[in-house]
């Protein structure tokens, strides 16, 4: 029997779907912005401008949206506890972006210079650390230790995922299962945490909070696969950050796995040499091969599978008000994937 909620995921969402999903969150995001701005006073005067540079309002704010939607009570009911939790996950996320850009030698993030480019990589590492520290400080301001424990454990897992990915760079001794484990840790963990905290702090039943967490995990895996697809098929002026970093850094992602599976042995060996840094990378040629060999559809299918698993997490919880709103984010992601599809 088909799921009562699964049909909500449709690939026909328009490109402007983000605006539609987020329209109902306008009061929540406004309070989040005010809360984050108020946190600047907690940073030492010497680094306050640097923290301000990172705490901007131009991002998509997907993780805070997951907090608010998972604990949804209505468009005009903004829970201060959820605002604080949204700030916590956003600060952890911003810290990971600062560190990611250092490791990727990226120059552009959100259509402007990265913190590493602006302040230098050494200062940027410490700036990311200070954002992590303040996120954990905020997480202590709840009557229960459960929030801080969950945030600290998730932060550790995110860092573990980044460490493992860094150690595997330049190596083809990585399996698709290794790749999924890495993105589960480095990306999906914060999606999972966001959904769990929203449901938990919103007073949901423990079973529903766990279902929300599972939804977030699969959505996060799908989102990271989309991000890896965009690294090859996206345009920097549309995505808003430096692209082409995966092949350049020797990081095996699902598009590269799919390409290697379709290449002849000699071509596969040649690509392995590029990933290992033993010969110059040929990103233009690799993109042409991906287009010719159907890599896009293969990777898009993997994203759709994760979104289907995300929707299935709610099969035993029909009728809960947040569910259609959360599933709408899956539609948005599918629309983003379709926007990357090569013409013809």
pLDDT of residue 24: 85
pLDDT of residue 120: 92
pLDDT of residue 240: 65
Q: What is the mean pLDDT of each run of 10 residues along the chain (344 residues)?
A: 35 49 88 95 95 80 96 90 97 93 81 87 94 96 96 96 94 95 98 98 96 98 97 78 83 97 96 94 94 97 98 94 92 94 84
**CA distances from residue 92 to 73, 250, 257, 263, 291 in whole angstroms, order as listed:** 25, 26, 29, 39, 35
CA distance 257 to 245: 16
The C-alpha R_g of the chain, in whole angstroms, comes to 20
pLDDT of residue 244: 81
How is residue 220 written in tokens?
């996060």
Question: Which helix (H) or strand (E) covers residue 112, if one does?
Answer: strand 112-113
Per-position b or e across 333-344, b if 16+ CB within 10 A of its CB: bbbbbeebeeee
pLDDT of residue 237: 64
């Amino acid at each position: 029997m088909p799921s009562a909620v699964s049909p909500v995921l449709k690939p026909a969402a328009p490109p402007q779907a983000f605006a539609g999903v987020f329209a109902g969150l306008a009061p929540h995001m406004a309070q989040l912005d005010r809360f984050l701005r108020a946190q600047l006073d907690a940073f030492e005067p010497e680094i306050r401008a640097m923290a301000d540079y990172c705490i901007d309002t131009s991002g998509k704010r997907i993780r805070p949206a997951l907090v608010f939607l998972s604990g949804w009570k209505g468009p005009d009911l903004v829970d201060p506890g959820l605002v604080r939790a949204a700030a916590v996950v956003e600060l952890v996320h911003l810290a990971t972006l600062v560190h990611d850009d250092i490791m990727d030698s990226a120059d552009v993030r959100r259509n402007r210079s990265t913190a590493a480019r602006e302040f230098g990589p050494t200062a940027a590492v410490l700036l990311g650390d200070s954002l992590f520290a303040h996120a954990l400080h905020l997480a202590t301001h709840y009557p229960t230790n459960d929030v801080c424990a969950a945030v600290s454990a998730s932060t550790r897992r995110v860092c573990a995922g980044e460490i493992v990915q860094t150690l595997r760079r330049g190596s083809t001794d990585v399996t698709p299962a290794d790749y999924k484990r890495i993105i589960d840790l480095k990306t999906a963990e914060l999606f999972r945490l966001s959904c769990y905290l929203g449901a938990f702090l919103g007073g949901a039943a423990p079973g529903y909070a766990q279902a929300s967490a599972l939804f977030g995990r699969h959505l996060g895996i799908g989102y990271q696969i989309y991000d890896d697809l965009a690294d090859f098929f996206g345009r920097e002026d549309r995505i808003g950050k430096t692209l082409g970093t995966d092949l350049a850094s020797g990081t095996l992602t699902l598009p590269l796995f799919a390409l290697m599976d379709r290449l002849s042995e000699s071509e596969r060996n040649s690509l392995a040499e590029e990933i290992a840094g033993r010969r110059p990378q040929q990103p233009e040629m690799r993109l042409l091969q991906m287009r010719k060999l159907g890599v896009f559809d293969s990777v898009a299918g993997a994203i759709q599978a994760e979104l289907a698993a995300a929707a299935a997490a709610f099969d035993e919880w029909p009728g809960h008000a947040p569910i259609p709103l959360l599933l709408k984010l899956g539609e948005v992601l599918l629309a983003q994937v379709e926007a990357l599809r090569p013409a013809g």
